[in-house]
């Protein structure tokens, strides 16, 4: 029987899945549940060593001889610090010693409780990965625990540290078997590596494959997923994801139904956006995406064709729909007119509307999704190109970043489409928030500012629009005017 501590059981299962068969174990009560599991597991052989200072070096020597990762497990408190010399030596030898430390619950750290000190980063730069596990209480924290352990155990060339908080009672061994845990594998690939060919083959052989390439802002996916409803025939069984932040929450929820995801990125990072990641390929995502597209041109995949037909139908519906004077009407008209000129969309409603109406790739600061810096990023882009560069932005983002225009480098190729509705209108879309009297003034930052004065002081040509006709004429002006100074069209809603 195994421990009743779920994080300990997930850890034990994944140690086996990642091919770890040897553990040096040190005495202690807080780590007893971990030691019990390691001893109970038929795939792991335990070696008791009392002195932690020595135990770390035992694990190092075993790692050298076996040429595979070896665990050293200690209890909480200074026991962990006693491993530092051995871990530092392993770091400079590039040996994969896996340090597992039991810990007290976070709320008792620095409260004069016994054997407590801040453990998660105690080994500092001498480990290449340090994680502290949650004590799972629902599916999300189980997934998080699984992901953290996978991230640590995927490191094969340096020591790692897995910290395991354990709440009392400590000694209940009532679990009949270990859980079956998802293992995430890391593979390094390059253009000459058969791995890339294998990835393409896996994609083409899947029954329901889907490629999510680049920074996905597919303008049709939200509408498609709403139309699909509960039709499981559209759910992919294999997702190939080349990274980049996804705007749509609905799309992310949909892709979490997929059976498995393979991620390709240059860094070999674990980005488990869809909570079903099984493989990380360290390589060129654009190259892989191009190979997939080439294969799809040569041989149409029925599932891909099914999606293409649905998206084409939705595109026709979007094109046929003429929204009334609104932000949607502004972005639709702009996208119809701009051609392939580079455009930066600010976060919030602007990028969500681009999700519906953009026909070509757009730029957006989706790494963290903040409202700051969108105007500055577009401005910086404009000073190193001769193309007209557009920025479509809402009022809060614009006024927050207005100093982007206080810059002598700007030229007439920088064009700004400012949608001013007097507040953060996206907050109107959050169910339940309408019940709060604080919504408009305090949450949505309601205001009466306009950009005319800002433009005057920064030599930016300014124009305003307050209805459909003025908006369309203003966008034409924004796109077609030849000038040596930046242009700004402010559309009031």
Q: How confident is the model at residue 215 (pLDDT cuts 50, 70, 90)?
A: low
For residue 440, name the pLDDT band (cuts at 50, 70, 90). Answer: confident
- pLDDT tens-place string over residues 258-307: 999 999 988 888 989 999 999 999 888 888 888 888 888 888 899 999 99
How high is the pLDDT of residue 193?
66
Q: Which residues contact 80 (CB under 8 A, 6 or more apart)?
A: 52, 74, 99, 101, 119, 122, 123
Q: Which residue has the higher pLDDT, 256 or 115?
A: 256
Give the pLDDT mean for 136-154: 96
**Concatenated DSSP letters for 121-183?**
TTTGGGSSEEEE-----SHHHHHHHHHHHHHHHT--SS-EEEEEE-PSP-----B-S----PP
User: pLDDT at position 118, please?
Assistant: 87
pLDDT band at 40 (very low <50, low <70, confident <90, very high): very high
Mean pLDDT confidence for 2-13: 96
- Among 150-159, 216-225, 323-332, name the one with the lowest average pLDDT: 216-225
Superfamily of chain region 185-318 = TPP-binding domain (3.40.50.1220)
Cα first-last separation, the chain = 66
Question: Topology of 322-492 in CATH?
Answer: Rossmann fold (3.40.50)
Q: What's the rounded mean pLDDT across residues 57-66?
A: 93
Please give the mean pLDDT across all residues of the chain: 90
Q: Is the pLDDT of residue 489 over 60?
A: yes
Check whether 191 has a pLDDT greater than 60: no
What are the beta bridge partners of residue 317?
A: none
> What is the number of other CB atoms lying within 10 angstroms of the CB of residue 245?
16
pTM for this entry: 0.79
Q: Are 425 and 353 in contact (CB under 8 A)?
A: no
Give 89-131 pLDDT, tens digit per residue.
999 999 999 999 999 888 778 787 777 888 999 999 999 999 9
CATH number for the segment(s) 6-165: 3.40.50.970
pLDDT at residue 333, rounded to an integer: 97
Polymer length in residues for the chain: 493
Among residues 100, 103, 82, which one has the least CA distance to residue 30? 103
Q: Where are the domains of the chain?
A: 6-165, 185-318, 322-492
The CB-side HSE value for 397 (13 A sphere, CA atoms) comes to 30
Task: Express each pLDDT in 357-381 by its tens digit.
Answer: 988 888 898 877 788 889 999 999 9
**Residue 461: pLDDT above 80?**
yes
Residue 436 has a pLDDT of 83
| pLDDT for res 220 | 83
């Amino acid at each position: 029987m195994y421990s009743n501590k779920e994080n300990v059981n997930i850890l034990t299962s994944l140690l086996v899945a990642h091919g770890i068969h040897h553990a040096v174990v040190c005495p202690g009560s807080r780590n007893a549940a971990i030691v019990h599991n390691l001893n109970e597991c038929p795939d792991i052989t335990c070696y008791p060593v009392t002195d932690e200072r020595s135990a770390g070096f035992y694990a190092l020597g075993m790692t050298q001889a076996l040429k595979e990762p070896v665990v050293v497990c200690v209890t909480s408190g200074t026991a962990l610090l006693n491993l530092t010399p051995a871990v530092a030596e392993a770091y400079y030898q590039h040996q994969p010693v896996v340090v597992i430390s039991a810990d007290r619950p976070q709320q008792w750290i620095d409260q004069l409780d016994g054997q407590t000190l801040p453990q998660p980063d105690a080994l500092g730069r001498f480990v290449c990965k340090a994680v502290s596990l949650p004590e799972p209480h629902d599916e999300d924290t189980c997934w998080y625990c699984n992901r953290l352990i996978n991230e640590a155990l995927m490191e094969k060339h340096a020591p790692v540290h897995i910290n395991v908080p354990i709440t009392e009672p400590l000694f209940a061994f009532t679990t009949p078997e270990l859980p079956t845990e998802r293992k995430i594998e890391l593979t390094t690939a390059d253009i000459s590596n058969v791995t890339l060919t294998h990835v393409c083959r896996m994609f083409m052989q899947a029954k329901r494959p889907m490629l999510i390439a680049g920074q996905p802002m597919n303008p049709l996916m939200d509408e498609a997923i709403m139309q699909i409803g509960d039709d499981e025939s559209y759910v992919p069984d294999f997702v190939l994801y080349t990274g980049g932040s996804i705007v749509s929450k609905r799309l992310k929820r949909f892709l979490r139904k997929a059976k498995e995801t393979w991620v390709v990125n240059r860094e070999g990072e674990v980005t488990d956006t869809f909570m079903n990641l099984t493989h990380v390929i360290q390589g060129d995502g654009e190259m892989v995406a191009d190979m997939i597209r080439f294969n799809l041109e040569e041989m149409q995949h029925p599932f891909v064709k099914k999606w293409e037909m649905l998206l084409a139908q939705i595109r026709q519906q979007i094109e046929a729909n003429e929204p009334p004077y609104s932000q949607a009407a502004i972005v639709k008209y702009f996208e119809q007119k701009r051609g392939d000129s580079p455009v930066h969309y600010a976060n919030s409603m602007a990028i969500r509307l681009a999700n519906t109406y953009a026909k070509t790739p757009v730029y957006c600061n989706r790494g963290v999704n903040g409202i700051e810096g969108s105007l500055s990023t577009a401005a910086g882009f404009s000073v190193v190109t001769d193309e007209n560069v557009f920025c479509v932005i809402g009022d809060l983002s614009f006024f927050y970043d207005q100093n982007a225009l206080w810059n002598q480098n700007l030229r007439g190729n920088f064009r700004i489409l400012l949608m001013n509705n007097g507040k953060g209108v996206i907050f109107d879309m959050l169910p339940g928030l309408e019940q709060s009297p604080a919504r408009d003034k305090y949450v949505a930052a309601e205001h009466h500012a306009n950009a005319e004065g800002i433009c005057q002081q920064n030599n930016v040509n300014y124009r305003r629009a307050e209805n459909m006709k003025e908006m369309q004429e203003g966008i034409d002006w924004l796109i077609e005017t030849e000038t040596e100074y930046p242009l700004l069209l402010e559309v009031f809603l």
